Chain A
Amino acid sequence: MDITFKQVDYTYQADSPMATPGLRDVNLHFQSGTYNAIIGQTGSGKSTLLQHLNALLIPTKGEVVVGDQVVTPQTKNKELYDLRRKVGLVFQFPESQLFEETVLKDVAFAPKNFGKTAAEADEIARRALRLVGIAPELEDKMPFDLSGGQMRRVAIAGVLAMEPEVLVLDEPTAGLDPVGREEMMTLFVKIQQERDLTVILVTHQMDDVVRYAQQVVVMEQGRVLKTGQPQEIFADIPWLHQHNLELPSTGRLVQQLQQQGFQFDQVPLTVPDLLAQLAPQLKQVATHE
Chain B
Amino acid sequence: MNKLIFGRYYPGDSFVHRLDPRLKLILNILFIVLIFFAQHWPSYVILGAVVVVSVWASGISLGFFLRGLRPMLWLILFTVGLQLFFTSGQHVYWQWGWLSISREGLINAGYIAARFLLIIFMSTLLTLTTQPLEIADGLEYLISPLRVIKFPVNEVALMLSIALRFVPKLMDETTKIMNAQRARGVDFNNGSLLKRAKALLPLLIPLMMSSIDIASDLTTAMISRGYRDGEGRTRYRILKWQSRDSWVLAAFAVISTGMLVLERMM
Contact = CB atoms under 8 A, between A and B. Distances in A.
Interface of A: 13, 16-18, 51, 54, 56, 77-78, 81, 84-85, 87-89, 91, 94, 96-99, 109-110, 113-114, 144, 158-159, 162
A224 B208 CA distance: 37
A162 B210 contact: no
A159 B183 contact: yes
A99 B180 contact: no
B184 interface: yes
B177 A97 contact: yes
A94 to B, nearest CB: 7
A97 B185 contact: no
Nearest to A56: B179
Given A17-B10, A91-B176, A99 B206 contact: yes
5 contacts: A78-B190, A91-B180, A97-B180, A110-B184, A113-B184
B173 A96 contact: yes
Interface string B13-41: 00000000000000000000000000000
A199 to B, nearest CB: 16
Contacts of B64: 16-17
Nearest to B176: A91
Given A84-B185, A113-B185, A99 B205 contact: yes
A113 B186 contact: yes
A96 B210 contact: yes
B80 to A, nearest CB: 27
A159 B184 contact: yes
B103 to A, nearest CB: 41
B181 interface: yes
B184 A162 contact: yes
A84 B189 CA distance: 15
Interface in B147-183: 173, 176-177, 179-183
Nearest to B61: A17
Contact of B182 (A17, A56, A109): A56
Nearest to A155: B180
Nearest to A158: B184
Interface of B: 2, 10, 61, 64, 173, 176-177, 179-187, 189-190, 201-202, 205-206, 209-210
B2 A99 contact: no
Given A17-B10, A91-B176, A109-B202, A97 B182 contact: no
A16 to B, nearest CB: 7
Given A17-B64, A91-B176, A96 B206 contact: yes
Nearest to A168: B183
A252 to B, nearest CB: 33
A99 B201 contact: yes
Contacts of A110: 184-185
Which of the listed residues B10, B189, B202, B210 has the most CB atoms from chain A within 10 Å of its own CB?
Answer: B202
A89 B189 CA distance: 20
Contacts of B210: 96
A81 B186 CA distance: 10
Q: Which 3 A-B residue pairings sit nearest by Cβ, starting from the closest?
A: A113-B185, A99-B205, A97-B180
Given A85-B185, A97-B177, 15 more contacts: A56-B179, A81-B185, A91-B180, A94-B180, A96-B180, A96-B206, A96-B210, A97-B180, A99-B201, A99-B206, A99-B209, A109-B185, A113-B184, A114-B185, A162-B185
Nearest to A51: B179
Contacts of A94: 180
A71 to B, nearest CB: 14
Contacts of A89: 179-180, 183
A162 B64 CA distance: 43
A42 to B, nearest CB: 14
Contacts of A56: 179, 182-183
A25 B185 CA distance: 29
A110 B183 CA distance: 9
